[in-house]
Structure 1
């Protein structure tokens, strides 16, 4: 840090816990260390107490888990400074605490002790936001609204145009899984990704989000008399250029972004995939700002208390004849970036300066300066948020009944891009995903139906439909039939089902179209082709075979009814005969099932004979009931063989 020096300090320390405030005289403070940067600070303070009765409330509050707020003010008592600088104020929250008791005697058989308190504390954002790991989905919101919702007790100055932009969605994926990214990491990552400014004003205890660094203020002159040493720090130059690659197939582009110190052929490539030229242009501008070269910095170590403000954000000017003429930064406006301070009391005992407001300290003090024109923003080290997170969603399509299978494709009027809408029930938010074939080739058009369960990948500002995770109601066939089915249409009463399964180890293909009470069936089985057209007066459509279990028995029942109805539609007389004999047929099913296997070879011939007999059935209506009975018996035998 630099050379140690002796100086008198007037320190103010107050602790607030559980609604009570405790003021500690500056003379009791035996150690204070501060690492103050433009984005926040960490600090530690140690002090003694000797009067146990007066110390009792603080001792009781110290042992409770309540949040403790610490406020420290550092000021000089140097008579050589006619106009001393403003006190350096730090307001933060306790991170950790330690207590040591030292016995110094007994009174009425009770040991008397001194207590040494040590608090480690930091600015509120580091304490609270580093433990804050929300997983949330927001739609039609801005980053300003999001930060306001998560600011807790922080004071925020949101003066950044980017924060005010409404975004279709923002996802926070900062849960308790690895790699342990906190909201503080997220904020730093967002600012860095969008080339903004995140800074902390320790004097106001306020965080600033802005487009650029503040440039107002008058630089205070700093002479060399109280400076021990000045070092020039040279940042490493950037040796690469950049390229933005747009991988969209219709119009791929590769845009180089030059940088004067880059080595030929050395690049940082960024790949985007967007059909919108303006989005690619925005990414190019962002990558160009990342290539700005950092300017030289100065590290200044003091040997006396500095005569001007030296907290981060303060402006200084190294001027005066005593500075070397060749010194980098001389006569230039410089901004304080960091401050490293440590003070140990010369009287370190528990009884020293107990009631004094000031005391003598041994100190080390140094600051880091940058040019006031430096545009680069120093940020703390952070972990990059991990995206995407995966949640379940339901395809959103308004209109119709809840169980209807409708789909919705929305076209953006500005970009002409098309999207599906997905509702994420966990947060009851609706997001957009690109309307793409997903896992199907372009020859197939199968948009996702309403209320279909899907797996959704949520990125920071966009969503993606990954895959389907459930079958629609009625489309899954029982395992016993080893069937496959394609279900098209918007509801049970208006649909077309294509089914292929196995009945008695033989492949059967069936197409069933349903429109209210109007149904059509095409069935291909072993040795037969069956076509049926049927119109029912009932308002409710018959239950489809794919919605009945078990599949094989349902298919047999459906086939029996279909054959009977087909015969009846071909011949009015035969239809009457079938209506009269249906009860007998149902009673004889058990007996016919036993003979099914032996008569399998005769099925084809009997079906052909039945069809031939159906052609003349209309002319034979007046014939005897015996002939009709014989035809009925022949039809029953043929039906049984088909089953």
Structure 2
């Protein structure tokens, strides 16, 4: 219940428009309204100016769309106080502005007019952050660094260790495609989700993000300044909480009890994490939230208080004039909200034009909570929409760009395995769980390097969604209506399984390729073809060993562990290569021995053939000699006959 009281106030109003500053005498302020809460404020102020021309600086600046900064300070004029309290100050940015012009006298065409300006303004976070809708991905960055990058003109202070912790991934998903969700909603959501504090100090024009409410010294509040006190009892919560971890091989249900809860009524929180520490952390968070809010006091004033009563200030109801049985007596109270509205008693455009103060009809009230209240009061907000989906490329170092290699990184702390995905839009690389994705567990088809995929980005983790294209060479011609599986590194070292239709008949083939060495198995109608072929022109590939994937997987480990892993791998490689070389030498020796034996055997047979040929030639010569002798004898006998 608020009742107006008469008070002489000294308003101080300063406007800054486009770099120009305008000071308005307090007497010209005809109406002001401030609703101040622990997280910020909303306010309005109306004032008359003296006679102005068309080119008056304030009128000229008012017509431009420049940012309008408003500073309003309000103090009571109380000569009886030796040391008056600091005035109530609110500083913000105009949300809207209105203007009414009144001519001087009866001449409607007068060159000079009185102008009545009205500005509605609020704290900078509400005005600027409510229009800020970034979509960003950050890695290896703390939440404090993210806030600093988006603070615009805001003054932020921090007293929260969680904000300084580096996070593997942080995603902001408050773009224009998420209607009515802004960066302001995001900050409030984050604070609530992590049981933190978001408060605004109007005297310093500064925001605080902390893990607990700030402390201070309480000022005594005089009973003579308060008209009425109501005790408000917040509605108690009637539920408990259960934290459910939905793991198939180790599900857990952890109940968190609450004294005022009705049996069988609970708010359930569903998790799916194999990391015990994460589940325990969430249980601790939900237990801290599950508290009953303490009673509050609603005060209405009959005089402007002589102690600070801005939101966040501490006051104490003490003294003999307070009722002895009053709830909250002699206890420190924190101002949770403050409402102030003042109407000038003389509202004409001619009144109090150059005076710094004026008489007002004032209505003022405050809501107090116990200084020991741990629960935080936040304004209503809309939760950000997660996940968002973006394209990524599978990250796997080593080899050539077109190679089909994969990388699985194992977290030494959790023993969980991850794939790495690079998001080109922000040039950031994130981890996604290494799971079978869309295949049953008996299939092992990890995503290959540079494969185009779609991933889901949550606030602090990412998930694999689906593949977006085929790797080079895996698609078959349309007319064959074929299917194909490619296994291996690249087109020079792979195994292909292909099934298609040739002349409307199914054909299945397997082709293994390793440099110049190929093997083919093909089955078609009435035919089985098997071929093993080695091309000398190509020759076998030179054996190489690339440790880049192992090095990438071992990032963040101790140097000794990395060196040991690489050393073991290199030793295994050298042992394997030694075994291969020994077998090659043995094969070469066997080939040489066989070749030597074959040459000896062939030489013996050639010598035997030569010896036989010589014998035959000798016998042939002997036969020819005998034949010549017989011919000569025949000739001699013939001569005798003649």
TM over 0.5: yes
Query: Is residue 23 of structure 2 the alignment partner of residue 30 of structure 1?
Result: no
Q: How does 1:520-599 map to 2 (within 5 A)?
A: 520-539=519-538
C-alpha deviation, 1:290, in angstroms = 1.0
> Counterpart in 2 of 1:260?
259
Query: Is residue 59 of structure 2 the alignment partner of residue 50 of structure 1?
Result: no
Contact (CA 8 Å) 2:315, 2:335: kept in 1 or not?
Answer: yes
> Counterpart in 1 of 2:118?
118
The number of residues matched between the two structures is 541
C-alpha deviation, 1:104, in angstroms = 2.3
Distance between the aligned counterparts of 2:92 and 2:189, measured in 1? 23
Deviations 1:375-402 (A, max 9, x none): 0111111001110000000000001111
C-alpha deviation, 1:111, in angstroms = 4.2
C-alpha deviation, 1:274, in angstroms = 1.0
3-state SS of paired residue (1:228): strand
Contact (CA 8 Å) 2:53, 2:112: kept in 1 or not?
Answer: no
Contact (CA 8 Å) 2:51, 2:112: kept in 1 or not?
Answer: no
> Counterpart in 2 of 1:631?
none
Contact (CA 8 Å) 1:49, 1:55: kept in 2 or not?
Answer: no
Structure 1: gaps spanning 5 or more residues: 542-643
3-state SS of paired residue (1:287): helix
Distance between the aligned counterparts of 1:262 and 1:106, measured in 2? 71
Bigger shift: 172-181 or 522-531? Answer: 172-181
C-alpha deviation, 1:539, in angstroms = 3.2
Distance between the aligned counterparts of 1:78 and 1:418, measured in 2? 70
> Counterpart in 2 of 1:155?
155
Change (3 A) 1:69 1:55: farther
> Counterpart in 2 of 1:554?
none
Distance between the aligned counterparts of 1:350 and 1:295, measured in 2? 48
Query: Is residue 446 of structure 2 the alignment partner of residue 476 of structure 1?
Result: no
> Counterpart in 1 of 2:320?
321
Q: How does 1:210-249 map to 2 (within 5 A)?
A: 210-215=210-215, 217-249=216-248
CA RMSD of aligned residues (A): 1.6
Query: Is residue 89 of structure 2 the alignment partner of residue 89 of structure 1?
Result: yes
Q: TM-score, normalised by structure 1?
A: 0.82
Distance between the aligned counterparts of 2:329 and 2:478, measured in 1? 84
Distance between the aligned counterparts of 2:296 and 2:228, measured in 1? 14
Contact (CA 8 Å) 1:7, 1:78: kept in 2 or not?
Answer: no
C-alpha deviation, 1:481, in angstroms = 0.9
3-state SS of paired residue (1:286): helix
3-state SS of paired residue (1:323): coil
3-state SS of paired residue (2:488): strand
Change (3 A) 1:109 1:96: closer
C-alpha deviation, 1:540, in angstroms = 8.9
> Counterpart in 2 of 1:102?
102
Q: TM-score, normalised by structure 2?
A: 0.83
Structure 2: gaps spanning 5 or more residues: 541-642
C-alpha deviation, 1:110, in angstroms = 4.0
Contact (CA 8 Å) 2:51, 2:115: kept in 1 or not?
Answer: no
Q: How does 1:120-199 map to 2 (within 5 A)?
A: 120-199=120-199
Distance between the aligned counterparts of 2:283 and 2:107, measured in 1? 76
Bigger shift: 172-181 or 464-473? Answer: 172-181
C-alpha deviation, 1:106, in angstroms = 7.2
C-alpha deviation, 1:324, in angstroms = 1.6
Q: How does 1:377-396 map to 2 (within 5 A)?
A: 377-396=376-395
Distance between the aligned counterparts of 2:118 and 2:69, measured in 1? 14
3-state SS of paired residue (1:324): coil
Distance between the aligned counterparts of 2:80 and 2:505, measured in 1? 107
Change (3 A) 1:135 1:107: same
Distance between the aligned counterparts of 1:225 and 1:106, measured in 2? 48
